[in-house]
Amino acid sequence: MLSVSQAEARILELVHPLKTVETVTLREANRRVLGQTVVSVQDFPYWPNSAMDGYAVQWEDVAQATPHQPDRLTITEEIPAGQEPQRVLLKGQAARIFTGAKLPQGADTVIMQEQTQCQGDQVLILSAPSQKGHFVRSQGEYCQKGENLLEAGIRLQAPELAVLATAQVSQVSVYRRPQVAIFSTGDELIAVEQTLTGAKIVDSNQYALAAFVENQGAIPVSLGIVPDDPDRLKSTMAQAIVSADLVLSTGGVSVGDYDYVEKLLAELGGEIVIRSVAMKPGKPLTVAKFANGCVYFGIPGNPVSALVSCWRFVQPAIAKLSGLSAPWSPVWVKAQTQTRLTSDGQRETYLWGRVQCSSTGDLTFAIAPGSHSSGNLINLAQANALAVLPIGTKEIASQETITLLLPQGL
Ligand code: AMP
Ligand code: MG
């Protein structure tokens, strides 16, 4: 049996970024992965401008100003934001200026209006600025022409879209989103809208996995429920493998008489690279690689195992496939556990619960109350962290520091 980190490393070796790019509008680019580094074609700010409402001056004129000995300057013009300055500023002069307005030539410093007193066409400067250039946003201070504005391989979100807009990039090159086929296997499964009878249960994994895939920025393609019938299972698997970049099927990967996935993967020509992982929940994870590049995840059917497997292994795979820059591993943080945590010590154990920021600013972990059975999907609701107990650790005392996996990242 592979360790969790060995399994993750194997998965990342199998997966290669889909480097096909497509062009989308800026509005469509939210949450997409940037496919091409954007080089700045201009300086930011474009020109020196004022960070305050006040007066643009020459530093040397006002360097000694105090409330008792203010400097008196002659006002040359008023420069609102959006208006080109009309005059070069000379010694002994000040220009009335507003936040974001372009600095007139000759000015190097801005005095905020609270430190001034206007007297007709003159202004008294009541205090010296701390340094030359005070309250001026100088040209190229944020980024200079020719520098990289945004690197390929980053996820575009609100701040990055603002950067692209300011650089007038209205069409964005992004990587194609991975297509992820999802289906559930099991004779016991019915769809959510069907009537529950006899020994049936509702296929909840389909919804969990589709939402998970969507949250990773990939496209879920639902293939529904497939019964534990080798022929039907094989044909759905074959269809998924030829049409998707990644396949996630749940169920049928244990050692039961009706668990056909591994055998069928081999029959379909898959190279099986993982058969099980020393992990709880999630031990029967099966991973295979196909000649067309498709990577198949046979995920255990228990609802908690299914999501924990996705968070621990599928998330890095989708991240790499999507063209995101490394690291692809999940996000880990340290926190203090509020209760004792236990495991049998045999496998790397993941316990679900909530991480919170305490009033002192420390992260604390509260395990979800109730059963930590891999079938108990009820107390998985509202979990935002998985506490990890390494192999060999049977107990972690309350108040000890633990490692948490954050499924939603930071
Ligand atoms: P399996 O991995 O097929 O042995 O299934 C393990 C357990 O998970 C069984 O109790 C199944 O009934 C349950 N299970 C399997 N697939 C699903 C699903 N799609 N939704 C909810 N529970 C499932
Ligand atoms: Mg089953």
For the stretch 379-405, pLDDT in tens is 999 999 999 999 999 999 999 999 999
The confidence score (pLDDT) of residue 300 equals 97
Say how far apart CA 383 and CA 367 lie, in whole Å. Answer: 9
261 lines ligand 1 (CB under 6 A): no
* Residue 410: per-residue pLDDT: 87
Task: Out of 185, 187, 192, 201, give the residue to mutate to test ligand 1, the one with the largest number of ligand atoms within 8 Å of its CB.
Answer: 201
Spatial distance between the Cα atoms of 383 and 399, rounded to a whole number of angstroms: 19
pLDDT of residue 175: 98
Does 301 contact ligand 1 (Cβ within 6 A)? yes
* Single pTM value for the model: 0.95
Instruction: Tell me whether strands 109-112 and 54-57 are parallel, antiparallel or unpaired.
Output: antiparallel
The pLDDT value given to residue 230: 97
Strands 136-137, 395-396: parallel, antiparallel or unpaired by DSSP?
A: unpaired
Show the tokens assigned to 184: 């559930």
Whether ligand 1 lies within 6 angstroms of the CB of 188 is answered as: yes
pLDDT value, residue 78: 98
Cβ-contact 152, 36 below 8 angstroms: yes
Helix (H, G, I), strand (E, B) or coil at 172: strand
Is residue 251 within 6 Å of ligand 1 at its C-beta? Answer: yes
Neighbours of ion ligand 2 (CB under 5 A): 186, 251-252, 301
Residue with the smallest CA separation from ligand 1 atom 12 is 188
Average pLDDT across each block of 10 residues of the chain; the chain has 410 residues. List them in order.
97 96 98 98 97 98 98 98 98 98 98 98 98 98 98 98 97 98 98 97 98 98 98 98 98 94 98 98 98 98 98 98 97 98 97 96 97 94 98 98 96
Q: Please tell me the residue having the least CA distance from ligand 1 atom 20.
A: 203
| pLDDT for the residue numbered 19 | 87
Cβ(201) – ligand 1 distance below 6 Å: yes
Q: Which atom of ligand 1 is nearest to the CA of 225?
A: 19
* Mutation choice for ligand 1 from 250, 253, 305, 371, CB with most ligand atoms inside 8 A: 250
Nearest Cα residue to atom 10 of ligand 1 = 302
Which two tokens mark 304?
A: 């908690």
Q: What sign results for the dihedral spanned by CA atoms 220, 222, 227, 232? A: negative
Q: Helix, strand or coil for residue 121?
A: coil
C-alpha span between 2 and 5 (Å, rounded): 8
How remote is the CA of residue 302 from the centroid of ligand 2, in Å? 9
The Cα 67–Cα 124 span in angstroms is 9
